[in-house]
Amino acid sequence: MKTVNAQPFNYAFDPETTALIVIDMQRDFVEPDGFGAVLGNDVSLVRKAIAPCSRLLRQAREAGLFILHTREGHRADLSNCPPAKLTRGGKTFIGEPGAMGRILIQGEAGHDIIPELYPQPGEPVIDKPGKGAFYATDLHLILQARGIRSLIICGVTTEVCVQTTAREANDRGYEVLIPEDCCASYFPEFHRAALEMIKAQGAIVGWVSNADAVIQALR
Ligand code: TIU
C-alpha cells in the first residue's frame, strides 16, 4: 500500500487497484476559442491545471498505474444530446461551428484532448454525453474488469465534470482522491467550494491532495 498526505486524512491506495482518470482536458474547454471561451470564460484559469496534470501523468505512467481519459461530446447528428442541454442558458452552442470545428462534436478538433496531455496507446478514452464519466459509458465495466478500487481524478472543471464523476464513483464504492492543482474551474471560488464539499464530513465523497504529494507516494 502507498500513502498520500491528503485531507481530511491520509489516503491509502494499492497501485495495482488504482486508476488515474483525466477528465475532459479537451481543446474545447481549455484552449482559446473553444466551448469554454465561447461561453465567456477565461481559459487561463483552467490552463493552470495542465502542468501539474502533465507531471502526475508522467509519474503515473512510470509507476504503471492504469490511466484513462474522458471527453465530453456528442454524435454529429446530436442524437445523444438531450434537447435541454442544447439550449441551456438560452443559447445554443453545442454542434455549432467554432474555431476548432463544431463545438463538442466527436471527431472535431476542438473535441479532442490537448496535445500536452494526449493519451498514449493502451490508455482508454471514454466518450461521455454527460458531465459524469459513469453516465451512459462503459467506464464502470472497464474499471471492474481491472479490479480497480481507487480512483485519482484530475481534469476540468472541478465543480462540474470532476465533481460529478467523483460523486458517481463514490456511490459505486471507489475511493476517490482529487489532487487540487490537477483540476481547475473558470470560477476559482467554485473550485475551492467543490473541494471543500468533497473532503467534508470525514471524506464524505473523497480525499483532496496535490500533484506533488501523489507523485511522492508513487515514487
Ligand atoms: N467538462 C466539464 O466540466 N464540462 C463543462 O461544461 N464544464 C463547465 O464548467 N462548463
Successive 10-residue mean pLDDT values, the chain, 219 residues: 98 98 98 88 97 98 98 98 86 88 97 98 98 98 98 98 99 98 98 98 98 98
Q: According to the model, what pLDDT value does residue 114 have?
A: 98
Q: According to the model, what pLDDT value does residue 119 have?
A: 98
Mutate to test the pocket of ligand 1, among 23, 45, 47, 72 (most ligand atoms within 8 A of CB): 72
What's at 152, amino acid-wise? I
Q: According to the model, what pLDDT value does residue 31 have?
A: 96
**What residues contact residue 87 under an 8 Å CB cut-off, 6+ apart?**
none
Q: How far is the CA of 95 from the centre of ligand 1 (A)?
A: 16
Q: How far is the CA of 4 from the centre of ligand 1 (A)?
A: 28
Q: How far apart are CA 193 and CA 142, in angstroms?
A: 30
Q: Is position 161 annotated as part of the catalytic site? A: yes
Residue with cell 467554432: 98
Q: According to the model, what pLDDT value does residue 5 have?
A: 98
In a 3-state reduction of DSSP, which class is residue 18? Answer: strand
Eight-state DSSP code of residue 138? S
Q: How far apart are CA 208 and CA 178, in angstroms?
A: 5
Q: According to the model, what pLDDT value does residue 129 have?
A: 98
Q: How far apart are CA 129 and CA 117, in angstroms?
A: 21
Q: Is position 42 annotated as part of the catalytic site? A: no
Mutate to test the pocket of ligand 1, among 47, 70, 81, 131 (most ligand atoms within 8 A of CB): 131
Q: According to the model, what pLDDT value does residue 162 have?
A: 99
Q: Is position 28 annotated as part of the catalytic site? A: no
Q: According to the model, what pLDDT value does residue 88 have?
A: 80
Q: How far apart are CA 117 and CA 140, in angstroms?
A: 23
Query: What's the start-to-end Cα distance of the chain, in Å?
Result: 12
